[in-house]
Structure 1
Amino acid sequence: MSIIIDTDAVTAALPERIKRFPFPYSSESYRYSANVEPSRKVVMTEAGEWGGRLLDIDEHYLSDVKERGEVLDRDPSRIQVLPHMRPAVWDAIATLLPAMAEENPDSMSFHREGNNCRWWNGLQDLEVEFTIGDDSSLQGGPLRFLGSQIQDDMVFLDQREDALWLDAGLVTFAADWSLGFDTGMKFHEIHGPVPRVLEEKIVSRAEQFLLRLQPGEQYRRTNWTLTIDRRLDTSTETYPNWAPERGTIADDPALPDRVHLRVEVQHLIRLPHSGAILFLVRTYLLSLADIARVPVWREIVGRVLAELPEDMAEYKGISRYRKAASDWLLAT
């Protein structure tokens, strides 16, 4: 007797963290590409959908912004703003807070008269008034305040000399890189260590695309790696805290619960007044055990990890355990 599985019922029973997860693969192999598409385009997956909002709020909202504040208290260097980028930070506030209120009208609102603004965030039981351009009107400064309201990291690129320069940002959840080190560098220099992308001219094409962005235009792309445990802060600054586990996790029976697929949804926005380009980097983590609850995902992730070229696996820091992860997925 054959057994019929109601896949719709199985999908309906999945938790929201799986239904909303931005699954990053379109095939059973992966190579670097720009993979840019319009912002807020809804993407249907085998588990649900994602992508309908610019600033996604999920079950981790309060814990994520709390963790960001704790990281910044320990290491203020995670905020960098070169003096000429102050207008871009205020431009981001004037762009993102209204968008967030529009997407969450039951829990947030934004009102502006001239440069005087009022922001209400019911999820945080917060109401604040501030003045655009007056850094002292927001406790901790405008960029730290904005980082306390959204789950995304932020990187600001200035355009000059026919190139893009990373001149400001707030990054507490970096995937093995350092904002403090990269601030002041050109776009090409930042991506120099990434294998293949310079030779294949991916960085050059990406930069040309960004240089052509018009004020107010919004696009997005995804990027991925693996992370051990639900650890958001895997910055270079905290390397000793998380890197040693890469060498031992392959033999850990808890590997399926501890190894997470880490996906970044990166929004690319040409800010309308300053002309700076804002990268929003939202990080999502889903364990391999959760991945395996969606059979198509289990198969694809297993085969992507098995097929990934060694130089790319080494750069992502997963070469010592990607085979164990792939073997588990494909045997499940």
Structure 2
Amino acid sequence: MSTTIIETDPDAALLPERIRRFPFPFATDTYRYSANVEPATKTAPTEAGSWGAHLVDIDEHYLDELAERAKVLNRDPSRVNVLPHMRPAVWDALTTLLSSMADDYPDTMFFHREGNVCQWKNGLQNLEVEFTVGDDSSLPEGPLRFLGSQIQDDIILLDVREDTLWLDAGLVTFAADWSFGFDVGMNFLEIHHPVPRVKEERIISRAEQFLLRLQPGEQFRRTNWTMTIGRRMDTSTETYPEWGRDRSTIAEDPAMPEKLHLRVEVQHLIRLPHSGALLFLVRTHLLPLADIARVPAWREKMGNVLAELPDDMAEYKGIIRYRKAASDWLLAR
């Protein structure tokens, strides 16, 4: 991520919160894969406002996105998977994140732990529960599914063994053109093998070494991006038949500026304090081109990024059939 000081547009205060809080990912007019890792919970300024002050971000879409997650899980329970040896890591993630939320949102969240007995209150859901760490039956659907009902992020847990990271647990309902079920049990390099350029540039191997060196309690973050047609959170490969055809028609659609969204993932990387596992949180943000264009600097940067992006990267992101139409529209404003 860029450390350049950003001058906020003087009209930004008039923009709606969804724009002012959006994690716009482009610092320049070009984009290439990079680790772009920085410490978590540091406010990141943009031309429209800022983002990133909290580990778990709660916004206006909180209840709607959790309701959508529940529908996905009821339709496809395979989106949750915990290999047996990862149970302690799941409990570690749950208590770590609930405690963080209570600290960041004291008006609506409360967490107290005495021994292994925990109390959790979520005022946004009118929820009060008591559970026992280590006792899966104390939470009706288990600790991981419960955590997924409290945060908007997808949750991935990586085990550390043989000097390698392994995807051995998670809850993923909002994947961007990949399959959590397919990747469970794979190691870090296998998961990222399809990404173009990263092998030659050793980005993934360097990222893995960085993660392996994290100390318990350390927290970092990075961003990633693609584009999505409609405000569709679940664009996993399992649901491709529902949305894949839209990629071939959106460029000619007069409503493209309202339908085509920049999709940004804020990915948090956390070494859990007790289990030592790596917690990988993926929070998805969507903003249509029509809103991007309301911030002049964003309109120009994104238009130039799309125009310059190499074809192999555009193909991998699934945007090659409409990226020119999107770029032309943004740069013509």
Once residues 105 and 113 of structure 2 are traced to their aligned partners in structure 1, the CA distance between those partners, rounded to angstroms, is 17
Once residues 54 and 310 of structure 1 are traced to their aligned partners in structure 2, the CA distance between those partners, rounded to angstroms, is 34
Matching of residue 48 in structure 1 with residue 49 in structure 2? yes
- Partner SS, residue 103 of structure 2: helix
Question: For 1:177-196, what aligned pairs fall within 5 Å after superposition?
Answer: 177-196=178-197
Aligned twin of 2:90: 89
Question: For 1:160-309, what aligned pairs fall within 5 Å after superposition?
Answer: 160-309=161-310
Question: For 1:69-80, what aligned pairs fall within 5 Å after superposition?
Answer: 69-80=70-81
- The alpha carbon displacement at 1:12 in A equals 1.1
Once residues 267 and 88 of structure 1 are traced to their aligned partners in structure 2, the CA distance between those partners, rounded to angstroms, is 16
Query: 2:119 is aligned with what amino acid?
Result: R
Instruction: From the superposition, tell whether residues 188 and 7 of structure 1 become closer, same or farther in structure 2 (CA, over 3 Å).
Output: closer
- Partner SS, residue 23 of structure 1: coil
Once residues 293 and 126 of structure 2 are traced to their aligned partners in structure 1, the CA distance between those partners, rounded to angstroms, is 37
Matching of residue 26 in structure 1 with residue 33 in structure 2? no
- Partner SS, residue 265 of structure 1: strand
Gaps of 5+ in 1: 1-5
Question: For 1:133-152, what aligned pairs fall within 5 Å after superposition?
Answer: 133-152=134-153
Deviation >6 Å, runs of 4+: none
- Partner SS, residue 200 of structure 1: coil
Matching of residue 125 in structure 1 with residue 126 in structure 2? yes
Query: 2:178 is aligned with what amino acid?
Result: W
2:9–2:47 Cα contact (<8 Å) kept = no
Compute the RMSD of aligned alpha carbons: 0.8
TM-score (norm 2): 0.97
1:183-220 deviations in whole A, cap 9, x for unaligned?
00010000000000011000000000000000000000
- Partner SS, residue 186 of structure 2: coil
Gaps of 5+ in 2: 1-7
1:17-37 deviations in whole A, cap 9, x for unaligned?
000000101110000000000
Once residues 237 and 101 of structure 1 are traced to their aligned partners in structure 2, the CA distance between those partners, rounded to angstroms, is 35
Query: 2:287 is aligned with what amino acid?
Result: L
- Partner SS, residue 204 of structure 1: helix
2:263–2:286 Cα contact (<8 Å) kept = yes
1:56-89 deviations in whole A, cap 9, x for unaligned?
0000000011110110000000001100000000
- Partner SS, residue 106 of structure 1: coil
1:110-153 deviations in whole A, cap 9, x for unaligned?
01100000100000000000000000000111100000000000
Once residues 316 and 240 of structure 2 are traced to their aligned partners in structure 1, the CA distance between those partners, rounded to angstroms, is 14
Once residues 140 and 292 of structure 2 are traced to their aligned partners in structure 1, the CA distance between those partners, rounded to angstroms, is 40
Query: 2:262 is aligned with what amino acid?
Result: L
Once residues 175 and 79 of structure 2 are traced to their aligned partners in structure 1, the CA distance between those partners, rounded to angstroms, is 10
- The alpha carbon displacement at 1:11 in A equals 1.1
- The alpha carbon displacement at 1:238 in A equals 0.4
Once residues 106 and 182 of structure 1 are traced to their aligned partners in structure 2, the CA distance between those partners, rounded to angstroms, is 38
Q: Work out the percentage of aligned pairs sharing the same amino acid.
A: 75
Aligned twin of 1:331: 332
Query: 1:141 is aligned with what amino acid?
Result: G
1:272-291 deviations in whole A, cap 9, x for unaligned?
11110000000000000000
TM-score (norm 1): 0.97
Once residues 55 and 92 of structure 1 are traced to their aligned partners in structure 2, the CA distance between those partners, rounded to angstroms, is 12
Once residues 140 and 15 of structure 2 are traced to their aligned partners in structure 1, the CA distance between those partners, rounded to angstroms, is 40
Query: 2:33 is aligned with what amino acid?
Result: Y
Aligned twin of 1:104: 105
2:9–2:48 Cα contact (<8 Å) kept = no
2:175–2:236 Cα contact (<8 Å) kept = yes
Aligned twin of 2:4: none
Query: 1:301 is aligned with what amino acid?
Result: M
- The alpha carbon displacement at 1:94 in A equals 1.1
- Partner SS, residue 173 of structure 2: coil
1:264-313 deviations in whole A, cap 9, x for unaligned?
00000000111100000000000000000000000000000000000000
Aligned twin of 2:5: none
2:45–2:51 Cα contact (<8 Å) kept = yes
- The alpha carbon displacement at 1:7 in A equals 4.7
Question: For 1:50-65, what aligned pairs fall within 5 Å after superposition?
Answer: 50-65=51-66
Query: 1:314 is aligned with what amino acid?
Result: E
Matching of residue 320 in structure 1 with residue 316 in structure 2? no
**Equivalent residue pairs, number:** 326
Aligned twin of 1:3: none
Query: 2:132 is aligned with what amino acid?
Result: T
Once residues 134 and 178 of structure 1 are traced to their aligned partners in structure 2, the CA distance between those partners, rounded to angstroms, is 29
